[in-house]
Chain A
Amino acid sequence: MDNESVIQIRNLSKVYRDFWGRKKVQALNSLSLDVKKGEIFGLLGPNGSGKTTTMKLLLGLLFPTEGEITILGRPAHDVEKNERIGYLPEESYLYRFLNADETLDFYGRLFKMSPQVRKERKDALIEQVGLQHARRRQLKEYSKGMTRRIGLAQALINDPDLVMLDEPTSGLDPLGTRDMKDMILKLRDEGKTVVMCSHLLADVQDVCDRIAILYGGELKVMGSVSELLQAQDETQMLTTHLSDEALAEVEAVLAKHQAKMMKVDHPKTTLEDLFLRTIQESQARPGRRFVPGERPGEDGNSAAANSTDTAKVEGAAS
């Protein structure tokens, strides 16, 4: 086995059958992939593409029809492997009658942690996911975002080497989404391996190092995000604002190198970025209202909003 591989999947197939053993759905077909240590790996695909099935096969919640799975050097059905795994299910299927403290205590006991260690982990995780104010409330009173946070906390109770997250940002507001993405990146920084599946492409793009795209139970694309998204036959430049004359000169230079200016416009921020900055600004200066055209986070100076240009160039690279 490759020493760097945390997960190895070889020719994995899964067929769902009906009561009589007749084939109902081929959920996965001959899937092979590796997840390396310390990376954030994203499983992408439309609904029914087999990403959640793959995750459940990895966790031993389903049994493969064919193929082999090795996680942390052990087969998927081996319960010992779970000592080093943390799992956040798609919905946070936790015990609704427990409160946050009791929830983490219960999962900590499953890892045979001592009461002292459990208490330390509980306190740290509850603070990390921002649920100090609600730690004594039963989970049935939690909002969806709070449930996701406590779900993540239970997944991290054992300080796992491998974290598996099924739709981690589903149901979270933009602030929660950002927090979740920050936490995922932090996990990678701590040397942990993260496998996540999601259909929120922007989130995957933001955090994943490598991705695999599944369709109809088959692997269609796999590689690093930066490589897969890079357009090799195009060049993009970001400059400060250019006048029409300057643009004309640039175009002339490009023509000299047999390149063509394809598009010139002003760069746009993302809606997520705008939303987050609005919230941050509102927290910093309560009562202030932004006028149309003004961009928060830039001290109300709307002129600065249009101070950069992007140019997309197609042609021979020099």
Chain B
Amino acid sequence: MFFDPEPFNMGLAAIQWLLTLCICCGIALAVVVVLSLSVSGVSGPANVWRAVIRGVRDIVDMSPKRIGAVASLTLKESLRRQDVLVGVVFVLLFMFAGWFLSSANVDTPAKPYISFVLTAIRWLILPVALLLSCWGLPADIKARSLHTVVTKPARRSEVVLGRMLGYSSLMTVGVAIMGLVGYVWITRQVPESAQHQLISRVPQYGQLTYLDRTGAPSFSGINVGDMWDYRSFVEGNTKAAAIFTFKDLNTNRLSQDDQLQLEYRFEVFRTHKGDIEKAVQAQFTLVNEQSGLRVPYPRVPFEVKEFADMQARSAEDDGRLPIITIPRELTYTPEGELSSKTVDLFEDVIHDGTLTVQVRCVDQGQYLGAARTDLFVRLPDKTFAVGYFKAIWGTWMMAILVIVLGTTASTFVKGPVATLLTFAMVLTGLTLRPFMSGVLEQYQQTGVVQGGGMLESAYRMVTQMNTQVELPGGFLTEAIQWIDDRMLQGLLLLQNVIPDFTHFDMTPYVANGFDVPWNNAMMPSIATTLAFILPALILGYFCLQWRELEAK
């Protein structure tokens, strides 16, 4: 699994959000002005200006009381239409799921239970949120019930926001109940032998650099021929090393336990069979970069299995976790000296909250593969409930975003189209968005995309030209590249308009026994949902305001 959580940059995200919002508003305004000119002539732009001012006033002057009235109406409507019957499906799922999940052959017995519960909740909540939000307003307009509301002093922005709030309240209750039931179900269903896996480990990741075989700093290690360059390898019995630097360690907190735990998941690549019954060995060296102190720990090298998951399993089978516990008092023998020394981990080795760990492969001709997340400082564990309910929070955020998008879509198209539109956004955000981000990141960094943009790709496919061959020079190539360039720039904007739904899936963290990190997972999910509320409200308001409810 690719896993490399980067801290979420809230400031950058806010700037990007503001920029996208301004660009989108600008484009929308330009389109509306052009349309108004064609419909109303020279008075068109003035009409648009007045409507925009009125819109801003309507949004600013919204009344919480009226919003509350519409929200409670929405809630009543959903309850009385028995939309909550989805809960029955949930109960049925849980009644029989145990039959299919109780396999004893799985490596991590708790994982399928946790994954099942969180996935089931997500996929039950998603269609309900989608259908409720996409069909509510169109049904109101079709039945003309909305006429009796908008002919009262209710602003259309209040109607949109009230609807969003109503459905959100319902989903909140639904997610909370399902979450609680799911939690009880997991804690009761997971076998006794696997109960210890119900924890929330709290990792602190560092930065990874390398030393090459001569001991010179290097940005990466060796590629052993994998297409997947997630891990980079260091050569055994040379000066090559993977260097993990952990910063901002809270030594006060750690020193309360009088120890430091490092958890690892390395991989090994053998260039020769060697002693096949003996695992490849690795060695940690704790380094204080400031004082130059180097403390090998553990004193004897430890074994590393071929594959990271095998390593974890094997370690657990042996009753050992892939954890190295470093005590506060460290005794070691410095290189070239005969007598041993004792140093204090928090005072002598960790300097100013920074710890450097060098990892070397001991066996000659073998390679040790490391990724940034393969070694982390394991902070004191949290209870399983903490990680689990954070994942439930992610599902809730997703439901809210679906409701916001669905309600907005339903202000300008009918129920079925709104459902399709919103579902397409969810699907794109879940599946295509990571791919799109990868392509656009490449485009932003290098100015080109491997294989070209959409037209160039199509041209290459039709002419059976592989991506390494240069396109023939000439007007056609220039035109294709110019259009591709514009389309990629448009995609850059579109990328920010399609929400990244992958942020909401926190199942892997919890299922693998990790806490859901605030900075890497919680913040992006909250920011994604919040980012869409205001633009969706503005769009929804103007679409409903400029829509003739009685148009024939």
Please list the residues of chain A having a beta carbon within 8 angstroms of any beta carbon in chain B: 16, 21, 24-25, 56, 59-63, 77, 79-80, 82-83, 85, 87, 89, 91, 93-95, 97-98, 102, 106-107, 109-112, 138, 154, 158
Contacts and interface: CB of A to CB of B under 8 A. Distances in A.
Given A16-B552, A98-B76, A112-B65, A89 B150 contact: no
A25 B552 contact: yes
Interface stretch (B139-147, B239-247, B496-504): B139-147
B81 A109 contact: no
B214 interface: no
15 contacts: A61-B548, A61-B549, A79-B58, A79-B153, A79-B155, A82-B154, A87-B148, A93-B143, A93-B144, A93-B145, A95-B77, A107-B152, A110-B69, A110-B154, A111-B153
A21 B145 CA distance: 27
B106 interface: no
- Give the residue among A63, A77, A95 with the most B Cβ atoms within 10 A: A95
B81 A97 contact: yes
A56 B550 contact: yes
A62 B548 CA distance: 5
B63 A112 contact: yes
B343 interface: no
A110 B65 CA distance: 7
A107 B549 CA distance: 19
B31 to A, nearest CB: 15
Contacts of A80: 153
A61 B152 CA distance: 12
B80 interface: yes
Interface in B247-305: none
Contact of A93 (B68, B77, B148, B154): B148
Contacts of A83: 153
A53 B63 CA distance: 30
Contact of A63 (B72, B145, B548, B552): B548
B105 interface: no
A13 to B, nearest CB: 13
B191 to A, nearest CB: 46
A295 B154 CA distance: 52
Interface string B536-552: 00000000000011111
A16 B154 contact: no
Contacts of B143: 93
B66 interface: yes
B530 interface: no
Interface residues of B, number: 31
B149 interface: yes
Contact of A87 (B76, B151, B548): B151
The main secondary structure of chain B at its interface with chain A is helix
A181 to B, nearest CB: 22
A79 B145 CA distance: 17
B151 A82 contact: yes
B73 interface: yes
A85 B151 contact: yes
B380 to A, nearest CB: 50
A85 B76 CA distance: 26
A14 B39 CA distance: 14
Contacts of A138: 80
A109 B69 contact: yes
A97 B66 contact: no
A24 B73 CA distance: 37
Contact of A89 (B58, B76, B77, B144): B144
Nearest to B549: A61
Interface string B75-111: 0110011000000000000000000000000000000
A61 B151 contact: yes
A309 B347 CA distance: 121
- Give the residue among B54, B65, B76, B550 with the most A Cβ atoms within 10 A: B550
Contact of A102 (B68, B76, B155): B76
- Give the residue among B39, B73, B77, B149 with the most A Cβ atoms within 10 A: B73
Given A95-B77, A97-B76, A102-B76, A110 B550 contact: no
Contacts of B150: 60-61
B230 to A, nearest CB: 52
Contacts of B155: 79
Contact of A106 (B69, B549, B550): B69
A62 B145 CA distance: 16
Given A61-B550, A97-B76, 9 more contacts: A61-B150, A89-B147, A91-B144, A95-B73, A95-B145, A106-B69, A111-B152, A112-B63, A112-B65
A58 to B, nearest CB: 10
A56 B552 CA distance: 12
Nearest to A81: B153
Nearest to B149: A110
Contacts of A85: 151
A260 to B, nearest CB: 52
Contacts of B144: 89, 91, 93
Nearest to A164: B151
A77 to B, nearest CB: 8
Contact of B80 (A59, A60, A97, A106): A97
A59 B148 CA distance: 10
B65 A16 contact: no
A107 B148 contact: yes
Nearest to A59: B151
Contacts of B66: 109-110, 112
A25 B551 CA distance: 11
